[in-house]
Amino acid sequence: MNDIPQKIPKKIGHYEIIKELGQGTSSRVFLGHDHFLKIQVAIKLIDFKKTTDTFNTDVIIKLLLTEASLVGKLNHPHIVTIYDAAIEDNGGYIAMEYITGGTLEQHITADTLLPIANVIEIIFKCCNALDYAYRNGVIHRDIKPANILISDHSEIKISDFGAAQLAKGDVTQINHIGSPSYMSPEQASGQSLLNHQTDIFSLGVVMYQLLCGKLPFKSSSIAATLYQIIHINPPPPSSFRTDIPSTLDNIIEKALQKKPSDRYQNWEAFINDLTAIGNFPMAKKDIADSEKFSLLRQLDFFTDFGDVELWEVLRLSRWSKLPTRAEILTEGDGGDNFFILATGQVEVLKGKKLLGVLGEGACFGEMAYLSRPATPRSATVRAKEEVTLIEIQARKLDQSSENCQLAFNKSFLRIMAFRVANINTLFSREYLS
């Protein structure tokens, strides 16, 4: 018997419905328009009447409550933003960020695999996002390809935090949540007290599948799969692909350790090992986001920036590599951009006189942002050796978040205070000599 087509509602809450995107057992997902924010949103509509028994209804309600509790809580460029949620007698809905593209499920078979470098990039971004969630008291507990959205080969967003455990909250926990093939040994054995290491294990499974096109643990029954997760070590990914380096084998082996005490103890350790192989040839010639992010973390200029602000810097900046003696700024020219030196050294000249040499983390040309309208460049800046530059246009910084602008302003104040102190020191020496 054919299913009777369901009507598409005209509105859900205050959202105007544009079209249906998909549906599951007890939910439908719609594309909606928010007239207040003037953005498109994805709306997951849950119907409690579609569940088969009271237990399933209770579970779905708890999942919905968990996601609803995250409204406004997680603000990260690699986590889907939840805007709004509502629960009524017969159901509820969640309005979230709408992401075009698909999920990682489209890249987990042997004929659809991404380049190894892109996989490293994806896992790196997932680690940063899940580390951010954990530091905000949230453990996902259901990491799998279907819950990781992707566009442009390595731009990702983690979604579906319904199974999340709120480490700092008092929401009733739901045991046995998760997808069997991606469960950690702790989940597979029914433990209810889980920490971030359960997400580390699950992400290790996702990484294995993205590299090999097959799961590390899979059998004909759920019970047999759970047994493998708890007791059996999978073959290394390089046994399926000769182009996978041993360093990746080691990372996955560490992430998939049965005992949490043998696994990565924190996300930072996982991130550091991924960063250590960041020089793996990329599919594109551009500097990888993982390499950029690691460089930003190391530069003194970005000391006051949190992870969210650092990712924002990546989005509003342009990175480039220039050869020795390349002229970056020319005395007397205009412009609304400024630069931060990521690697290498530059010379600062007034006329033909060398005023000084700047190294990694130095900022120059910032008066284009601090003085409006921008004044002509007061000096020439050229590369003393090959350099990596972070270029930011003042108007783009104006459009960034308040937190990002505040962090930049603090760095500018620190730089100006340092320069004033140096000028005073030089003046004192001249006066005393």
SS3 158: strand
The two beta strands, 363-364 and 337-343, are antiparallel
Q: For residue 209, what are its two tokens?
A: 């599948």
| Contact residues for 82 (Cβ-Cβ < 8 A; gap 6+) | 67, 70, 71, 72, 73, 74, 94, 95, 96, 97, 161
Active site residues: 142
The answer to whether the peptide bond before residue 373 is cis (omega within 30 degrees of 0) is yes
Q: What is the dihedral of CA 136, 141, 143, 147, to 10 degrees?
A: -80
CB 120 within 8 A of CB 274: yes
> How deeply is 1 buried, as exposed, middle or buried, from its count of CB atoms within 10 A (0-12, 13-18, 19+)?
exposed
Longest distance between any two alpha carbons in the chain, whole Å: 99
CA distance 63 to 275: 34
Alpha-helical (H) ranges within 341-401 are: 367-370, 394-398
DSSP three-state, residue 405 = helix
Residue 351 DSSP code? T
49 touches 57 (CB < 8 A):
no
Distances in Å between the Cα of 175 and the Cα atoms of 150, 162, 192, 345 are 29, 13, 6, 55
**345: β partners:** none
Distance CA 70, CA 178 (A): 18
User: What tokens were used for 249?
Assistant: 């084998």
| CA distance readout (Å), 263 to 106, 127, 189 | 28, 14, 17
Angstrom CA distances, 32 to 21, 44, 48, 226, 303, stand at 10, 10, 21, 39, 39
